[in-house]
Structure 1
Amino acid sequence: MKNLDDYFMAKIVQMILNKRTEEALLALSKYYEIRAPDIVVGTIKGKRKTVYAVYVHKESRIYCLNSDVYYNPFIIMHEFYHHLRMVAGIHRGSEKHANQYAREFILSYNKIIDQTIKSNPQKL
């Protein structure tokens, strides 16, 4: 998989936080040169009360339990990781790796925010 820079990763997180989840998924998919997954608020049979979100490979779709999940960068990035692995033809990938992928986006976002605050402390 390609390495992402902190600024790009932070921008993706910010897009999701600003309720531009579909746009964030399109930007990521363009970067990786893959088709973007569909994303909907809804559940699937057997997963209704057990998970916040799930990626269904056969549909190339991320299902989110509710709108809070739809705009949660960690959960969205976790599910995008599953999409990325499946589209790339690499085995499904573990939950541990999906969590690490999502965590890297959050850490990059926090790093960029911290750098911005340190470089502009008078704007606080």
Structure 2
Amino acid sequence: MVFIIRFKIMNVKKNSRIRRATKFRKNLQKFNNIRLLIHRTSRHIYAQIISKDNKILVTASTLEKKIRKKLKYTGNIKASILIGIKIAKRSIKKGILSVSFDRSGFKYHGRIKALANSARNTGLNF
């Protein structure tokens, strides 16, 4: 019985995150901007810059071998700071200087905040 209650709570939590993300993306489509999309799991963090027509322009994640070698653990703030720096450098190299920040419904704290601040400090505007 306890397992069923916990499972329902987890589904509600995930569903509310997805609802927040879709609501934000609908508003973003009105402005037709390039967006910096973030996704996080307990073990990894992913960042993508997506164009107006939903094509991936630049990516960075903790799954890359070069980044994984630099880190002891890939699911912490140190890893997200490194990903923020990488995504900003790669996007500036491609000529993308301004994006909209899409946090995929995750709360703006911890690893998401660290990634955003490091990308801003490297030169990406949002």
Query: Above 0.5 in TM-score?
Result: no
The structure that is helix-richer by fraction is: 1
Higher fraction of strand: 2
Q: If the length of structure 2 is used for normalisation, what is the TM-score?
A: 0.31
Give the TM-score normalised by structure 1.
Answer: 0.32
